[in-house]
Amino acid sequence: RLQFGEDLELTFRTLAGHGANPNVYGAVVLGIEPKWTERVAGEVARTGKPVEAFSIEGHGDLRTIERAARAAYHLLQQASEQEREPIQPGELVLSIKCGESDPTLGLAGNPALGRAVDQLVDLGATVIFGETSELTGAEHLIAARCATPGVREAFLATYRAYVGLIEAKGVDLLGSQPTEGNIRGGLTTIEEKALGNIQKTGTRPVNRVLGPGEAVGPGEGLVFMDSSSAAAEMITLAVAAGSVLHFFTTGQGNVVGHPLVPVIKISPNPKTCASMGEHIDVPLPELLWGEIPLDEAARRILETFERTVRGRLTAAELLGHREFALTRLYPSA
C-alpha cells in the first residue's frame, strides 16, 4: 500500500512472478481491494495457469477466506492429477547464491558449484546469479566475461549504480559487507568475499543483465540479476524471474529455504557438516581436505540436482523452511 514508481512495479513483478513460476500449477490471489488484486491475477493468468482472485473490501475476512479456500480446494484437486514428464536440463531456469560465507567456500564449495554450473550451462540451462554488493573488488572479472559490449556496459552501469547509492549515504558497509558472520569465519574484506563469491559462477560468458525479478526463460546460459545479497531476498527475486531450483553454498551454515522451489545446500566446511548436518544436502569436506577432485564434487552436486528434480525433498523442505522476502527500493509515500 502507498508504494509508487519502480518500487511498486517490483512488488507486482515479484508477486506475479511467483504465480507464474513453472513450479506453480495455479494461484489464488487475495488482496485488500479489487483493482490491484486483479492486476496480479491477470499477470499470472497470461501464462495460461488457472487463477482465482478475491478482494476483502465489501466481503470481510471470513467470507473471503471461505471463497478462497473453496477455490484452492478445487485447484489442488486438479493439480493432483498432473503426471511427471521427462525433461532436459535445457528446459530449466536455475539460480545460485552463497551465504554465511567463510574461506572454505572460496577454496572449495564455490569452485565445485562453478564446475557444476559450467556443465548445466553447456547443457542449455539458464543459471541466474546476482548479489550485486558481493561482487565488489571482483566486478572487473565479471565484466571481462560479458558476452557483448552491450551486456558489459549494462552490467557495469548496474554495479556503478549500487556503488553510487552507498556513497550517497556516506556510510561504511563494514559489518554489513562483509557480515559479522563472514568476519567471524575469517573473511576480513569485501574483496576477499567477492573473489570467493564469483567462483560459483563458473567460467562461461555472462549473456544478459536482468533487473530485480525480471523474467528470464530457458536456454539463455549464465545471466546476472541485480539483487540484494540477503539470502531470502535474492532467492525470492530469482524465483520471481523463473528459477525452479536454487543451489546455495554455505560455509558456516545458512538455513534459508523457499515456499516454491527446492534449495539445495552445499557445504565443504567440516564443522558445519557435523554440527548442522540436517541442513546440508551435499557435504563436501573431502574436497576441502584435497581427498576428492573438483570434478567429483561437481558430480555429487549434479547427482543431488537430478534426484531433486525427480522429487527428492531437500533439507530445507524437510525442515519446513519457506522464507519469502520482498525487496523494497525506497520508502512508501
Whose CA is closest to 108, among 333, 297, 310, 323? 297
Mean pLDDT of the chain: 95
pLDDT digits (tens, 9 = 90+) for 301-315: 999 999 999 999 999
Percent of the chain with pLDDT over 70: 98
Q: Can you give the length of the chain in residues? A: 333
Q: Are 194 and 138 in contact (CB under 8 A)?
A: yes
Per-residue model confidence (pLDDT) at position 285: 97
17-76 pLDDT tens trace:
999 999 999 999 999 999 999 999 999 999 999 999 999 999 999 999 999 999 999 999
Q: Residue 97, class by beta-carbon neighbours within 10 Å (0-12 exposed, 13-18 middle, 19+ buried)?
A: buried
**Minimal CA–CA distance to 241: which of 114, 97, 103?**
97
- Is 288 in contact with 104 (CB distance < 8 Å)? yes
pLDDT (mean) for 137-157: 97
Nearest-5° Cα angle at 285, 283 to 286: 110
Query: Which one is predicted more confidently, 212 or 101?
Result: 212
**pLDDT for residue 178 is more than 90:** no
pLDDT tens sequence across 157-173: 999 998 888 778 877 66
Among 169-178, 191-200, 201-210, 232-241, name the one with the lowest average pLDDT.
Answer: 169-178
Residue 174 reports pLDDT greater than 60: no
Q: What pTM does this model have?
A: 0.95
Distances (CA, A) of 285 to 251, 255, 263, 267, 294: 11, 18, 20, 7, 12
Q: What was the pLDDT predicted at 176? A: 66
- Residue 35: name the closest of 57, 10, 59, 61 by CA: 57
* pLDDT-derived band at 233, boundaries 50, 70, 90: very high
> Using H for helix, E for strand and C for coil, what is the string for the chain?
CCCCHHHHHHHHHHHHHHHHCCCCCCEEEEECCHHHHHHHHHHHHCCCCCEEEEECCCCHHHHHHHHHHHHHHHHHHHHCCCCCCCCCHHHCEEEEEEECCCHHHHHHHHHHHHHHHHHHHHCCCEEEECCHHHHCCCHHHHHHCECCHHHHHHHHHHHHHHHHHHHHHCCCCCEECCEHHHHHHCCCCHHHHHHHHHHHHCCCCEEEEECCCCCCCCCCCEEEECCCCCHHHHHHHHHHHCCCEEEEEECCCCCCCCCCCCEEEEECCHHHHHHCHHHCCEECHHHHCCCCCHHHHHHHHHHHHHHHHCCCCCHHHHCCCCCCCCCCCCCCC
Q: Which of 249, 259, 310, 219 is nearest to 100 (CA)?
A: 249
Backbone angles phi, psi at 33, to 5 degrees: -125, 165
- What's the Cα-to-Cα distance from 129 to each of 81, 107, 157, 269, 310, rounded to whole Å? 34, 19, 17, 22, 24
User: How sure is the predictor about 183, in pLDDT bands with cuts at 50, 70 and 90?
Assistant: confident
Does 78 score more than 60 pLDDT? yes
Name 273's Cβ contacts closer than 8 Å, sequence gap at least 6.
267, 280, 283, 285
Q: Which grid cell is 78? A: 486438479
pLDDT score recorded for residue 191: 85
Residue 206 pairs in a beta bridge with 146, 222
Nearest to 327 by CA among 77, 8, 101, 37: 8
pLDDT tens per residue, range 238-297: 999 999 999 999 999 999 999 999 999 999 999 999 999 999 999 999 999 999 999 999
Q: Are 103 and 78 in contact (CB under 8 A)?
A: no
